[in-house]
Amino acid sequence: MTPDLFRSTPFFLLLGAVAAGLLLGACTPSSDATDAPPIAADSVLPASVADTATFAGGCFWCMEPPYDKIDGVAATISGFSGGTTEDPSYRQVASGMTDHTEVVQVIYDSTKVDYERLLRVYWHNVDPFDGTGQFCDRGSQYRPAIFVHDDRQRELAEQTKATVAAQFSESIAVEVQPLSAFYAAEQYHQDYYQKNPQEYKRYRQGCQRDARLQEIWGEAAGGDAALARR
């Protein structure tokens, strides 16, 4: 290429378009994987101790790791909630036309970990001010939300939201809403960070997710520290 081409406006516009395209497809596998039956969400814990929580925090790949490392969490399942289309595919949700958002469903042993702790982990892993997406992933399919399964979860979620709101001057965009349905994503999305660690790491760094979490939450970023009160 000639120096004149590097200085030309169209060239830089092209670079910008390419970069934007990479970001828009950030939470998408680099190649089309063949769909496989979704993993089963039941039978991972005895019914007497099993409980379930559902959180939307942008790309579901990034919401599995914070919960998988918690003692008492039996499974995390990437999927979709919040829309009306029954059993949508990833491509349908990614188009932004189904009203679903990407979520992670957490199945946990209620005798080992409580819902309040899961909420603390949630807040410290999202940008609570951005209701139009999360980090580099834009669109309603990446909007943040806490999907509650019962009245107790709703009460606790609203309490933590109020605590977070008191900590900042900006409005909190995270919605608390009842879970109407959950649909597991295709198998190739499950445990993506474990099956494709290098690609996942590149995506997470390129999305600057951790940098933004650090900016908002400081030392509490990514963890389950108590929510600060003022």
For the segment 161-195, what is each residue's pLDDT rounded down to a tens digit?
999 999 999 999 999 999 999 999 999 999 999 99
Q: What is the DSSP letter of 144?
A: -
Average pLDDT, the chain: 86
Average pLDDT, stretch 45-71? 95
The closest of 28, 24, 31, 54 to 150, measured between CA atoms, is 54
Question: How many CB atoms within 10 Å of residue 229?
Answer: 8
Which of the four pLDDT bands, split at 50, 70 and 90, describes residue 43?
low
Buried b or exposed e, range 154-190, using 16+ CB within 10 angstroms: bebbeebbebbeebeeeebebbbeebeebbbbbbbbb
What per-residue confidence (pLDDT) applies to 48? 87
The closest of 224, 115, 95, 217 to 168, measured between CA atoms, is 217
The least confident of 13-17, 142-146, 210-214 is 13-17
As given in the structure block, the two tokens for residue 206 are 């390129």
Alpha-carbon span 56 to 50, nearest angstrom? 20
pTM confidence score? 0.85
Looking at 59, 62, 136, 207, which residue is catalytic?
A: 59
Q: Is 59 a catalytic residue?
A: yes
∠ CA 193-195-197, rounded to 5°: 50
What per-residue confidence (pLDDT) applies to 27? 84
Alpha-carbon span 202 to 157, nearest angstrom? 32
The closest of 209, 173, 225 to 62, measured between CA atoms, is 209
The least confident of 21-25, 78-82, 177-181 is 21-25
